[in-house]
Amino acid sequence: MIKLMIFDMDGTIIDSDLILAKTWEELFSLYKKGETFDREKIAEYSGPPLSYAINDAFKDYEDKEFIRKEYRKRTKKYYDSDLSIFKHSKKVLKKLYEDGVILCVLTAKTLEMTEYCLKKFHLRKYFKDLITCDSIFPPKPSPEAIFYLKEKYKLKNEEMMMVGDTYYDALASKNASIKGVIFTMHKRINIDNISYVYKAKDYDDFYAYYLSIK
């Protein structure tokens, strides 16, 4: 029986791919003039920490801390105008909460933006723990945050599930030896050949899978 679910944010609870693309497109136009902007390549930056994206996109840019600050500053307006959630996500999260499943977040976002996104769609009340890039744990695919939640709630591996949309989420579930679900609403690299997680096409599919193993 699943007693605790750990959710990623971007591409899982919230649909932020358009925001990601617009923010990076703006940064490219300002600080990588003349370089072709590849949206498919930028989609790779949904999942890993922001530092990974900056180090990859701005390899030759010396002041990477400046780019980080520019990203944080410029992305907020797109969250205000373009943020959305996936179809039936709120309904399913509510059902899980009412079923007594402990819901947690494990994300590379800041705590401030995590709170902002959840509150924007009235989802904050469903989640007990928010583990973000401001927390003490190393980022996914490290299993340390999962181990922390396991110990906190005195659970067994088979009572926990990681829910995400990227290779990092899938690998985190594998490293922690817990069940994993990967959403496929958006195309992600290194996902097609993974066999150790369930691939859900949408939230209704995900909830049906949960009921089948409940």
- Do 90 and 196 belong to one domain? yes
Give the total number of structural domains in the chain: 2
Q: Is the model's pLDDT at 49 over the cut of 80?
A: no
> Does one domain contain both 27 and 8?
no
72 and 158 belong to one structural domain: no
Residues 69 and 140 in one domain: no
Q: How does pLDDT run across 54-102, given as a tens digit for each residue? A: 998 888 888 999 998 999 889 989 999 999 999 999 999 999 999 999 9
Burial of 138 (0-12, 13-18, 19+ CB in 10 A): exposed
Tell me the per-residue pLDDT of 90-145, one tens digit each, with 9 for 90 and over.
999 999 999 999 999 999 999 999 999 999 999 999 999 999 999 999 999 999 99
Tell which of 38, 62, 82 closes a domain.
Answer: 82
Of 82, 103, 122, which residue is a domain's last?
82
The four Cα atoms 114, 120, 123, 124 give a dihedral, to 10 degrees, of: 50
Over the stretch 18-31, which tens digit does the pLDDT of each residue have? 998 899 989 988 88
Q: Report the chain's mean pLDDT, rounded to a whole number.
A: 93
Res 112: pLDDT: 94
Q: Which positions ≥6 away from 199 have C-beta within 8 Å? A: 181, 182, 183, 184, 191
- Domain extent at residue 186: 4-15+84-213
Is the model's pLDDT at 37 over the cut of 70?
A: no
What is the spatial distance between Cα 45 and Cα 168, in angstroms, rounded to a whole number?
11
Whether residue 196 has pLDDT greater than 90: yes
